[in-house]
A and B are shown apart, each in its own frame.
Chain A
Amino acid sequence: AQSVTQLDSQVPVFEEAPVELRCNYSSSVSVYLFWYVQYPNQGLQLLLKYLSGSTLVKGINGFEAEFNKSQTSFHLRKPSVHISDTAEYFCAVSGPGGYNKLIFGAGTRLAVHP
């Protein structure tokens, strides 16, 4: 069985500061890892994904994440956040094949303050 743990339910940060949103996963098979962002009353938008290859993955809006197999982590980072980054962020895992079901973490609320 697969599971995802997002260690922080809320992360407050000031504008232009760096941020890291933490995600750990558990799986007995190889996995695909994803980060999604959700703005209020909207669906999910894919920020980035790790399928294979380079462990540092760059996504949209200046976000990046690093896959660490030994620590079973996939933390999301941004060097300088904007007010518009305020949203809910979900880490997710799936088995090989994108059409397999996604298992989501509980989410992290990123609140960027001026």
Chain B
Amino acid sequence: GAVVSQHPSWVICKSGTSVKIECRSLDFQATTMFWYRQFPKQSLMLMATSNEGSKATYEQGVEKDKFLINHASLTLSTLTVTSAHPEDSSFYICSAATTGDSNQPQHFGDGTRLSIL
């Protein structure tokens, strides 16, 4: 149980376009979803926390207008990278958690590798 599906797994697009990444909890309701960014050979950096039906809380230094997060339902959150540029190329990972069990850690998706040409 507790599967998180992230789509797409890999995307290549031209500079200036917008890219949407989906994160779905398949068999549980995710009250909270987290979005991380990971540079090569580095750790995960939390970008934002989103609660269903609320605006996302962004970490310091993350541009909210650049990285749009929507958490419209208990099973889906999306991250849209707007007007993407090469410096936005990275590995993006989502995770999902539920307040139903405060002992349950976050469940991670398999990540999306974004390459901007």
Given A43-B109, A43-B110, A49-B105, is A99 in contact with B98 using a C-beta cutoff of 8 Å?
yes
Could you say which interface size class chain A belongs to? 20 to 34
A99 to B103, Cβ gap below 8 A? no
Beta-carbon nearest neighbor of B49 in chain A: A101
How many residues of B are counted as interface, with CB atoms below 8 angstroms from the partner's CB atoms?
28
B104 lies within 8 A of chain A by Cβ: yes
A46 to B1, CA, bound (A): 13
Taking the closest CB of chain A, its distance from the CB of B107, in whole angstroms, is 8
What is the CA–CA distance of A41 and B97 in the complex, to the nearest angstrom?
Answer: 22
The reply to whether A98 and B108 form a contact with Cβ atoms under 8 Å apart is no
Chain A residues proximal to chain B, CB less than 8 Å: 32, 34, 36, 41-46, 49, 51, 90, 94, 96-99, 101-107, 109
Going nearest first, the 3 A-B pairs with the smallest beta carbon separation are A43-B108, A99-B97, A44-B108
